[in-house]
């Protein structure tokens, strides 16, 4: 059901930049580039680190670019808990990341659209510069996300809408940046 919990609960947001992509096939469109060998290895390591930390998403919203989809596939192969998450591929995540100042608001809208109040951990997978910008806006800190880096953010609210409303920009607590190495 969509009923909100009666008390504020911790809402956890993982903003993950896709793993390193390959430039070997120059004829491919940017959207269609696969992961490089090192990118695949990084996706394995990152998924294991998120599992050890207990940051397992119940909802995953991902860019539909090949490198994002492949990052997720590898994470699901490594950590079975990632398979249990509801997954939506959102084509606008690819283009919005290139637009100044638009990503944070767009992520907020998509999270509120696809999540329920019972979902406590959401992972959004996408691209720079938008993902760095959104993580920085939500947390109020200057955040750098290299490939396959994840910003772990936390706020409280009875619903995702309330968490975004109460934390606003700058009010999400940065719990850390997870890196493959």
Is 80 assigned a ligand-binding role in the annotation? no
Closest CA to 156 of 173, 139, 169: 173
Burial 33-53 (b: 16+ CB within 10 A, else e): bebbeebbbbbbbbbebbbee
Cβ neighbours of 135 (radius 10 Å): 30
Cα separation, 83 vs 105, whole angstroms: 27
Binding-site annotation: residue ranges for substrate: 67
Residue set of the binding site: 67
């Amino acid at each position: 059901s969509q009923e909100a919990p009666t008390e504020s609960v911790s809402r956890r947001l993982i903003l993950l930049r896709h793993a390193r992509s390959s430039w070997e096939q120059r004829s491919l469109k940017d959207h269609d580039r696969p992961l490089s060998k090192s990118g695949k290895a990084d996706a394995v390591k990152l998924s294991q680190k998120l599992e050890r930390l207990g940051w397992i998403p119940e909802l995953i919203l991902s860019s539909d670019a090949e490198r994002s989809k492949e990052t997720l596939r590898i994470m699901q192969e490594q950590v079975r808990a990632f398979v249990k998450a509801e997954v939506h591929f959102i084509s606008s995540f690819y283009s919005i990341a290139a637009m100044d100042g638009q990503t944070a608001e767009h992520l907020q809208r998509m999270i509120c659209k696809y999540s329920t109040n019972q979902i406590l951990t959401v992972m959004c997978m996408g691209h720079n510069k938008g993902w760095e910008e959104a993580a920085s806006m939500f947390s109020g800190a200057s955040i750098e996300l290299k490939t396959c880096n994840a910003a772990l953010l936390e706020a409280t609210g009875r619903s995702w809408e309330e968490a975004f409303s109460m934390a606003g920009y700058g009010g999400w607590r940065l719990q850390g940046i997870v890196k493959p190495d």
